[in-house]
Structure 1
């Protein structure tokens, strides 16, 4: 380095402000010594007059020593927590979602734990599974046509998992474990992303049969901060491992040879924090950046995945020998029975016979005893007099309680007909358990819902009443499955309610033992036929075809633009220069809020090919509004414009 040159560090600031989402140049003083890319630093921010956290992305030299630059204040830690591959991924994901890279990094890089960092010693010795373990993994992979080739070539595939159990484990968990171990044997790391802690525990149990615990890195929201930081440091090592975790695990900084997303239709895989990126979309971007194999696996298929299969972007992989569950639909005669009888005779008799052998699963739509009440005279929904929330009953004969504010309604009067009498309008998990307990005397009744979590039930006779998504696994599988409240589930106004119901029903049916009857009660439409024939991909294909003429997601992308009327108007004017179709913008319409000035909202629909241009224009509008807002600090110190890409369909 010449006398006139100096060392500089290009730093990404850890700030949510959109105008700071770029690299800043800082001079590296001699007293700091060597500063490596990826380390945490503290740097001054002249506009704010304070020191801010950041990450060194690049280190170099420049000859223009006269250029005024601030100096790096402190190197917080010598650990390179931001490798280049992680920065590239965060940048790509943020650019697609019109967000900030620091928001992505905040999801994956934990807060520093000094004791954990000092005790950490990187072990770069690779683990080699035994020949027996590799053979077991190969046997699992061979159950699916073309899966081994996809894993070897770093391909992309949509995998229809085999329902049921494999040696007492869920077959889907065994599939994920087998694919990960096969990749580990090839000297590459794997990332297995699942929606919730129950799925995570099932995958860990399947892996425990194949590899030592130290080869598995757990990314779990239930972990303590030290455990989370310890797992992150392990994933920075060059030695391959298997990362298993929830949605943020998709960003784990391993050198991935395989990324698997299980059940991508689960809303838990959608990030609730800015920039609101779904784990599936992040995995697709990661595969494009790194060339790893990508599997989007599930018992059902979302329309998002089916679109990619139809385009040839994903390979359609199914079992070489399909074993379909035994699904029985309600007959027209049974559906004409009085509505008070929730379980038709065929399902009732099947449940009675099955309880003599083992557990029976009964899926219901809602938790509680009676989640909603209505007026006994006019059938108007019973509402709280204080907040307008729905009234419900916690048990038989209980005083009605508001589901929003929790107040009791001891002297309720119907505002429509002045009646003081209430009746039960729906049955929750507890009321269903109460009714079935009297119909099945002497049989254990187990309630599994959010208030009563149950992870597993034994093989003894029992009736397990569970809400959708809370069904526990049963030893040996359920001897029968009864799916209630199907019509009520389908009444939701969500755009994707059909595929959501099919996913809930299919995941419950997959818990049944081989040959066990599965009764879907009260539903006989397209989604029911898809379940009966186990043709979930066909249903997703038909849904995709019906949405295309309406330009609804996922056939097009949708951006939500919200802010003051002036800010939204400026953003839409900028989009007008992109020559989008005349019907691309819906709105703006007022948003109910107490903000001053009043806020409005608009939706922008655009083709995937126009994504880069639209996102760039929207991001520029957000930055411009943020800068203008900061200059007028006394009037409105916060940005008046927010943008969300690929919003959840219920929000439409």
Structure 2
């Protein structure tokens, strides 16, 4: 470097403003010495009039010093928290979703904890995998045809896991742990992404049987800030590890030999913050960029994964010797004849099984009576203040609004002036109250969002659980009864069939080998898919049905919200790309503030072009009179899972 040259730091500023989603050049003062790429810095931003946090993404030398540049104010920490591979992943994921890289990095990099950083040492030994643990893991992997080859070749696969209990844990947890041990023994890291705390705890229990504690790194929102930062620093080290966490764990900066997404149909794997990237999409981008194997595992298959399988992007992997739960269907006609909620066949099976061990009863909703209707005209009972649905917390209690929480004392039906209400549906607590009288002497356990239960012993009990809140039973449930199936299928959602099949399949997988699983009051394709355990076939039929309608995931869908003056120009720019005439739906009015909404349907081949065009429209809007419009700016959400067409 000549005497007249100066060092330049290219900085990515941590800001939610879309117009700042680019690299800024700053002069790097000589007194800072050697500054590595990827460290945190503070830099002045003239437009904001204050100091901003950022990351050094690249360093350069500039011979022409005539250009006016602000200087880096300070180097916050010497620790490299943004390695090149993480920056490239964040950039590519953000570009695909028409978002900002800093929004992705905010999910991937925790806030700095000074004490943790000072005590941290990157000199970590490679965790040892015991021969016995590796033997056990390889035995589990060997049950699946082609799985070991996919792991060795760094391929992509959709894995249909065996739906059975093995001791105190589901087989699915043992399979994921086995894959992690196999990859760790080869000197590479494994990233295991699960939807929620229950799945994570089961997976950690399975890993604890095979690996020492220092080989496993938790990465989730339940951790304290110091623990989360400590875990993040561990994933920066060269020593391999097994990362277990929720959706943001997919961005862990370790060098991954495999990334596994468990139950990708769970909505918890979809990020609720901009740019709304699903963990499945981030994992696909990461695998394409870094290599390593990618597995989507579950008891069911989403249409998103089926699209990849059908297109040849992923291979199918099943167990060499398949086993599935024994599912018994009760058609709706049988319920209509007796007007009962649980048919006699399911009731007798539950009573017999309850004498030997726990029985699971899955219901649609928590609480006592989630909804009430007028006792005379059967009109839905609504709150007089906000119009929300009224429900009952217990038998004989005053109705309470589910939205504003007000008690509806002196309620009167606006249609017929009646003052009495009746129960329209049964929640977990009401079901427990009803079945408790029918099963005298049997322990009743309620598990829902308000009363979470993680595990039940292998003793006689009746477990009433809402979907997704089913606890694990030691040895598996002696019987499973799935209630409210017809009500679940009535939800006005595009993917409700997929969701119901996933809820029911996950509950059925908790049954003991050979135990009956009764699906009550449901027939049709979803019920047949569960009874024959052909979830992949159902996903394939759903995919074929959506293709003529250009619905996701056959097509990608973008949603635009804003004032007509900003939405319509953005749509004109999209139409100029040569999309089909009916690619744009809307705009239509939403709300009372003059805002409109439009949907744009486009193929995957046009994804990069459409994303770039829409992102440019968002940036242009953000730089024009933002203060005057307040919250009325252009809002963009790509890859809508449930488009409201």
TM-score, structure 1 as length reference? 0.98
Distance 1:222 1:608 in 2: 36
SS of equivalent to 1:77? coil
Match of 2:508 in 1: 509
Out of 628, 644, 647, the position equivalent to 2:637 is 644
Question: What is the Cα deviation at residue 628 of structure 1?
Answer: 1.1
Out of 607, 617, 624, the position equivalent to 1:621 is 617
Match of 1:545 in 2: 544
Match of 1:612 in 2: 608
Question: What is the Cα deviation at residue 650 of structure 1?
Answer: 5.8
Q: Is the 8 A contact 1:37 1:59 kept in 2?
A: yes
Q: Is the 8 A contact 1:625 1:639 kept in 2?
A: no
Q: Is the 8 A contact 2:166 2:475 kept in 1?
A: no
Q: Is the 8 A contact 1:433 1:445 kept in 2?
A: yes
SS of equivalent to 2:437? helix
Q: Is the 8 A contact 1:371 1:426 kept in 2?
A: yes
Render the CA deviation track for 1:397-436: whole Å, top value 9, x for unaligned.
1111111111111211111111111111000000000000
SS of equivalent to 1:343? coil
Question: What is the Cα deviation at residue 169 of structure 1?
Answer: 1.6
Farther-moved stretch of structure 1 (606-615 vs 407-416) = 407-416
Uncovered stretches (5+) of structure 1, i.e. residues with no partner: none
Render the CA deviation track for 1:22-80: whole Å, top value 9, x for unaligned.
11111111111111100000011112221110000011212112211111110000000
Is 1:171 matched up with 2:167?
no
SS of equivalent to 2:10? strand
Match of 1:518 in 2: 517
Render the CA deviation track for 1:130-152: whole Å, top value 9, x for unaligned.
22111111111111110000000
SS of equivalent to 1:545? helix
Question: What is the Cα deviation at residue 331 of structure 1?
Answer: 4.5
Matches within 5 A, 1:314-393: 314-331=314-331, 334-339=334-339, 341-393=340-392
Q: Is the 8 A contact 1:629 1:640 kept in 2?
A: no
Matches within 5 A, 1:112-123: 112-123=112-123
SS of equivalent to 1:336? helix
Question: What is the Cα deviation at residue 10 of structure 1?
Answer: 0.6
Question: What is the Cα deviation at residue 101 of structure 1?
Answer: 0.1
Match of 2:526 in 1: 527
SS of equivalent to 1:550? coil
Is 1:88 matched up with 2:106?
no
Question: What is the Cα deviation at residue 336 of structure 1?
Answer: 3.1
Q: Are residues 60 and 388 of structure 1, via their aligned partners in 2, closer, same or farther at CA, if it must alter by over 3 Å? A: same
Question: What is the Cα deviation at residue 116 of structure 1?
Answer: 0.3
- Report the count of equivalent residues: 645
SS of equivalent to 2:557? strand
Uncovered stretches (5+) of structure 2, i.e. residues with no partner: none
Question: What is the Cα deviation at residue 276 of structure 1?
Answer: 0.4
Question: What is the Cα deviation at residue 128 of structure 1?
Answer: 2.9
Distance 1:134 1:73 in 2: 51
Matches within 5 A, 1:8-407: 8-331=8-331, 334-339=334-339, 341-407=340-406
Q: Is the 8 A contact 1:264 1:302 kept in 2?
A: yes
Render the CA deviation track for 1:135-177: whole Å, top value 9, x for unaligned.
1111111111100000000000000011111243210000100
Match of 2:482 in 1: 483
Match of 1:448 in 2: 447
Match of 1:466 in 2: 465
SS of equivalent to 1:70? coil
The alignment's C-alpha RMSD in Å is 1.1
Distance 1:650 1:310 in 2: 23
Distance 2:629 2:565 in 1: 13
Distance 1:48 1:484 in 2: 56
Q: Is the 8 A contact 2:595 2:632 kept in 1?
A: no
SS of equivalent to 1:150? helix
Distance 1:118 1:332 in 2: 64
Q: Is the 8 A contact 1:158 1:305 kept in 2?
A: yes
Distance 2:138 2:65 in 1: 59
Q: Is the 8 A contact 1:362 1:481 kept in 2?
A: yes
TM-score, structure 2 as length reference? 0.99
Question: What is the Cα deviation at residue 648 of structure 1?
Answer: 2.6
Q: Is the 8 A contact 1:259 1:293 kept in 2?
A: yes
Question: What is the Cα deviation at residue 282 of structure 1?
Answer: 0.3
Detail structure 1 runs of 4+ shifted over 3 Å in the superposition: none
Distance 2:209 2:589 in 1: 56
Q: Is the 8 A contact 1:626 1:639 kept in 2?
A: no
Q: Is the 8 A contact 1:191 1:244 kept in 2?
A: yes
Question: What is the Cα deviation at residue 636 of structure 1?
Answer: 2.8
Render the CA deviation track for 1:307-348: whole Å, top value 9, x for unaligned.
000001011000110011100001565233233x10000000
Match of 1:498 in 2: 497
Q: Is the 8 A contact 1:183 1:257 kept in 2?
A: yes
Q: Is the 8 A contact 1:560 1:647 kept in 2?
A: yes
Distance 2:3 2:198 in 1: 61
SS of equivalent to 2:419? coil
